Structure 1
Amino acid sequence: MVGVLKNIAKVTAGNSAPQKDKFSDEGIPFIRAGSLEFLVRGIPIDECEKIDPLFAKEKKMRLFPKGSILFAKSGMSSKMGRVYVLPEDAYIVSHLAVVTITSKHVNNEYVAFYFNYRPPYHLIKDDAYPSISVTDIENVEIPLPDLETQNKIVAILDKAKAILDKRAETITKYDELLRATFLEMFGDVSNNPKGFDKKPLKDFGQIITGNTPPRKDKSNYDSNFIEWIKTDNITSQSHFLTHASEYLSETGFAKSRYVNENALLVACIAGSISSIGRSAITDRRVAFNQQINAVVPAKDVSIFFLYWMFKVSAEYVQSYATGGMKRLLTKGEFQKVPFIKPDYNEQLQFEEIAKNYSVFQQKLLQHQTQSENLLKSLSQQVFNERIIVDVDAELEALINSIDLDKNDEENMISSVVNDITFIQRLIDRLNEQEFEDKSQYDKAKYILFKVMKEEENLVKQLFKDNKIQLTLQNETT
């Protein structure tokens, strides 16, 4: 069965944002488009700006209920595919779409998982001016099994997502540890308690502002000669640039600004206030647009020290930007921002620590990517109507096909190694001893141990209530 969203939910946009002085430390959370980046990473909603309910009532602002589904419907944020379910009532900015389920036969988490599987950005009609209309959202069609099946699907996807969330949480914790190390060694950049020399950013290296080759000339973009970096390739999750989805041709490259060397800093200089100063280290040659500045470090500047100075001083850097909703840090102002400049040897001491963490972070990100791929694979299965109610029959057939007298190569289980639906159901049955006889139980154990051998970080064994319990791995190892 397929359902049209407008028949099961109310779709609307949020409220206009009040003036800055109307926000307070107490009240009800107000969520901006920029907030989604942090909320989907597990940052508590309590850290968002807040509005006094009496002021909101006076301005006739709509309060959206717990369980509503949010995603950006305009601006560059709409291309990010971030989907968030409200854990409590909140006020929402008008740049966000709000989907509030109205049918008692629909699980809102099921709909949220669907939008994660098929992100709303596929509804954008003009990539140069990204926006999604409420009408187009209302007309989205969603595969809609019965509520019991929806609940089962949500339970399975939740377990897969828990693995992903745990790994993201681990990355964040190590980031916080390195941030604390920087502050312990050098202090807060803005008030400089350790009395280091302060120098304008132009003293840290050569500064290059990017540009955009004319889009009306399609020959600038008709081949994959060089990656063309935009601000969404500079994320807070990695020290290094993510790979671009768009490339320049050799013709476009000749009209671009680029960097040849590795280990340069690239920083956002335009966009929302939260994006100003967000930076990354390059590890390859790239071209970049006019919303980005590159810093080619001087000989007495460590790139890792420079990166972390930007990272721990986000609000300090943002204070130099001008504008309203869209902020800009011009090249002139960018190169004037005063930063502390410790002795090069002190920078190198921090660099050694940061490099070691960077290697570890890349391994964590690889584990995270594996988790993301598993969740995507599972989502593809359930939303293409290979739903969980079919798993028992298929799993039974697989167990019965196993011959314990044959060697491993003859017992084919490769189709289930990366299938969390099968693995979770297999775990459930082993934990509950749901088998007709010992032979079936032995075959099921054989399958699981083969899976554990091929995907060693996927399943773990716990000793609980005087017996061994199996569970999907939810901690980074």
Structure 2
Amino acid sequence: MRIERSNWEQRTLGEFFDLQMGKTPSRKDLSLWEDGDTPWVSISDMKESRYISDTKEHLPYQTIAECRIPIIPVGTVIMSFKLTIGKTCIVSKPLTTNEAIMAFYPKKGIEVNSSFLAYALSALKWKGNRAVKGVTINKKTISEKNFSLPPIGLQDNIAAELDAIQEVIDGYKDQIADLDALAQSIFLETFGDPISNPKGWKTELISKFGRIVTGNTPSRAISDYYNSQDIEWIKTDNIVKDLLTPTTAYEYLSFEGAKKGRIVKSGSILICCIAGSLQSIGRCCLTDRSLAFNQQINAIECDVNHIPLFVYCLIKASQQLLIDTASTGMKHILSKSDLSSICLPVPPLELQQQFANKIASIEQQKDLLRQQLADAEMLMAERMQYYFS
């Protein structure tokens, strides 16, 4: 079922809005970037929040004036349109953007609810040109895009409904983040920082925690390895930050394809050890099922003297040490031997178990919140489709 649109005004975006791109000052002149206090938005700054007020980089006013970079006022909707297309935010503090982001200014006589506009723009479907670094569109494409704008009263009502759902979604995410912080706090309070080891626990090589297994990618030339549903084949993008267990695999292998020694049991720790981004090194998860995995991952199958949930939290809390140990180049690599040679504190088994019991309780609460979050996100998707499909 679709909403009645007979009273929605049909025009192009260029007829409704004045469009304005940002700019990037020269990176060669470092003085243009020094001592800035005005936020400068790049696409990576446009995360899940509906509003944006701060960024990784800032520009001084002198640079803004010299380079004629437009300052975007509060309440303006901005949208990414290069590489990542359709991310939207509402400006909540005067700021600037780079040239991959477009600001939308309603033309004279056009009444627009900023929140409604942000939702509507994010729902648009774009057919971009394949550029060197990805799909992109341009100002002309955006300007000529057909767009429907309802009366302001209906905009307000739609925005209020979607904002209410988004508030619920944000609330669940905040609660999950708070539980993550609680788990980290309990770990540090109980055991201290694992890198500095202020409580003086005995230390062990990771190789002593249990069997360490490096994943594998079977030959694509042998189709029988992949034409099977025998066992999941996990990759690094299935290891999600702050998610305890790996997400469902995109591919499956035959048992023969997985090969002997490349399958680990439930309760193993998977660690990202080859990555394009250094910050991905050491990202980890705890398996809740038997599975196979590729060569960018090393796994630890814990022995009886090491509680898996504790070891997972220990590796997670020690990620910076793993990053510092990795070699750098085109790819960042923490080899099996590098991982094996790292020493970490190992408290008594009884204390490991007590801690694991507390974390298991927290994870149960997180699982419930994730299901509620998924339900709220599904409701948002349904209402977005109803209003904007």
TM-score band, normalised by shorter chain: 0.7 to 0.9
Deviations 1:327-363 (A, max 9, x none): 4433333333332221222111110101111112111
Q: TM-score, length-normalised on structure 1?
A: 0.63
Tell me the SS of whatever aligns to 2:341: coil
Residue matched to 2:266: 262
Aligned length: 371
Q: TM-score, length-normalised on structure 2?
A: 0.75
How many angstroms does 1:130 deviate by? 7.8
Residue matched to 1:317: 322
Tell me the SS of whatever aligns to 2:301: strand
Tell me the SS of whatever aligns to 1:266: strand
Seen in structure 2, the aligned counterparts of structure 1 residues 336 and 40 have a Cα distance that, compared at 3 Å, is farther
Does the alignment pair 1:109 with 2:115? Answer: yes
User: Matches of 1:229 and 1:69 in 2, distance apart?
Assistant: 36
The Cα RMSD (Å) is 4.4
How many angstroms does 1:143 deviate by? 4.6
How many angstroms does 1:161 deviate by? 0.7
User: Matches of 1:357 and 1:332 in 2, distance apart?
Assistant: 33
Does the alignment pair 1:132 with 2:135? Answer: yes
Residue matched to 1:199: 204
Note the 1:313-352 alignment, pairs <5 A. 313-323=318-328, 327-352=332-357
User: Matches of 2:181 and 2:119 in 1, distance apart?
Assistant: 29
As a proportion of its length, which structure holds more strand? 2
Gaps of 5+ in 2: 1-8
AA matched with 1:98: I
Note the 1:79-118 alignment, pairs <5 A. 84-89=89-94, 97-104=100-107, 105=110, 107-114=113-120, 117=123
Deviations 1:424-471 (A, max 9, x none): xxxxxxxxxxxxxxxxxxxxxxxxxxxxxxxxxxxxxxxxxxxxxxxx
Deviations 1:271-301 (A, max 9, x none): 3233322221111233333333222223221
Residue matched to 2:156: 151
Does the alignment pair 1:247 with 2:254? Answer: no
Residue matched to 1:53: 60
Deviations 1:257-282 (A, max 9, x none): 84341111122231323332222111
User: Matches of 1:335 and 1:211 in 2, distance apart?
Assistant: 18
Tell me the SS of whatever aligns to 1:290: coil
Seen in structure 2, the aligned counterparts of structure 1 residues 179 and 99 have a Cα distance that, compared at 3 Å, is same
Seen in structure 2, the aligned counterparts of structure 1 residues 349 and 25 have a Cα distance that, compared at 3 Å, is farther
Give 1:271's match in structure 2, choosing from 263, 273, 276.
276
Give 2:170's match in structure 1, choosing from 151, 159, 165.
165
- 224-233 vs 265-274, greater mean Cα deviation: 224-233
Q: Is the 8 A contact 1:272 1:325 kept in 2?
A: no
AA matched with 2:286: I
AA matched with 1:134: I
User: Matches of 2:354 and 2:165 in 1, distance apart?
Assistant: 39
Q: Is the 8 A contact 1:226 1:248 kept in 2?
A: yes
Residue matched to 1:227: 232
Seen in structure 2, the aligned counterparts of structure 1 residues 59 and 26 have a Cα distance that, compared at 3 Å, is closer
As a proportion of its length, which structure holds more helix? 1
Query: Identity of paired residues, percent?
Result: 26
Gaps of 5+ in 1: 385-477
